[in-house]
Structure 1
Amino acid sequence: MPIDIELFEEGSTADLRAGGRTNAETILGFLGSSPDRAYTPKEIHEATDVARGSVGVVLSRLEDRGLVRHRGDYWAIAEGADVEKTLSALTTATAVTDRLGPEDPEEWGPGVDEDSEDA
């Protein structure tokens, strides 16, 4: 969905996240919701609305981090404590955002850079 050019030019990076979640978060959440299934990139695209051209790149990056695995044309959530921690953190972050609303970097106060590692 297109956005207003003023938001594009002046909005914070949080404002510019379509749906509030990154593609990686969306795909990981989808695969994590069905740990007993594996999907093709096309099926992941259709289920998540992540751009078809982005799905493969995101899956490769998630695989490099040990969060997903694949065989042939199919991809599934990886197994292990790191994956469980990541999925738990995503669930918690989503629940907090749903309850309290999205973060507003302008509320952080002066001297806090939203792109810094401490933010």
Structure 2
Amino acid sequence: MSIDRDTFENTSEEELADLSVPDQVLGFLDANEDRAFKAREIASQIGVDEGAVSTALSRLKDRGLVEHKATYWAITDDAERLEGYSGYERATALFNDQLGTEDKEAWREHAPQKPHPSVEDEQ
């Protein structure tokens, strides 16, 4: 799973350590989407064994989530494929763990009672 730049910058190492190696690799590559890296550079940056990173990269490549050229690896530019991998459920679980679950009743108390003008036009 990839993580957005804000999560990458604002999440502690302990919280990120809970992510699988492929998730950590993909998150790192996503945060550095304008660059390509060697496996050992990725391993050094995320603090994971190079062999585990290489295995994760191969599996991510098989899923079409990373690209490989010579000894360099980069995240794919296929946004749909990345969204399909990370998915809404995983993001929701991550944010619920970090911020707590949403209280729908509290949200409803603050929701507008009148529909947005664009919705009124359709009626």
TM-score normalized with structure 1 length: 0.61
The alpha-carbon deviation at position 96 of structure 1 amounts to 2.5
Residue-pair matches, total: 84
Rounded Cα–Cα distance in structure 1 between residues aligned with 2:20 and 2:62:
17
Asked if structure 2 preserves the Cα contact closer than 8 Å seen for 1:29 and 1:87, the reply is: no
Which structure shows the bigger proportion of residues in helix conformation? 2
The alpha-carbon deviation at position 56 of structure 1 amounts to 0.7
Q: Which residue of 1 aligns with 2:99?
A: 99
1:82-93 to 2 correspondences below 5 Å: 82-87=81-86, 89=88, 91-93=91-93
Q: Secondary structure at the match of 1:24?
A: helix
Q: Which of these two proteins has the greater Rg computed from alpha carbons?
A: 2
| Residue 48 (structure 1) aligned with residue 46 (structure 2) | yes
Asked if structure 2 preserves the Cα contact closer than 8 Å seen for 1:39 and 1:75, the reply is: yes
Unaligned ranges ≥5, structure 2: 1-15, 102-123
Q: Percent identity?
A: 35
1:10-29 to 2 correspondences below 5 Å: 19-29=17-27
**Counterpart amino acid of residue 84 in structure 1:** E
RMSD between superposed Cα atoms in Å: 2.2
Q: Deviations over 1:57-114 (max 9, x none)?
A: 110000000000110110000121111343464554432321239xxxxxxxxxxxxx
List, as ranges, runs of 4+ consecutive aligned residues in structure 1 with deviation greater than 6 Å.
none
1:4-15 to 2 correspondences below 5 Å: none
Distance 1:29 1:93, change over 3 A: farther
The alpha-carbon deviation at position 50 of structure 1 amounts to 1.6
Rounded Cα–Cα distance in structure 2 between residues aligned with 1:95 and 1:23:
19
TM-score normalized with structure 2 length: 0.60
Rounded Cα–Cα distance in structure 1 between residues aligned with 2:55 and 2:37:
15
Q: Which residue of 1 aligns with 2:63?
A: 65
Asked if structure 2 preserves the Cα contact closer than 8 Å seen for 1:32 and 1:87, the reply is: no
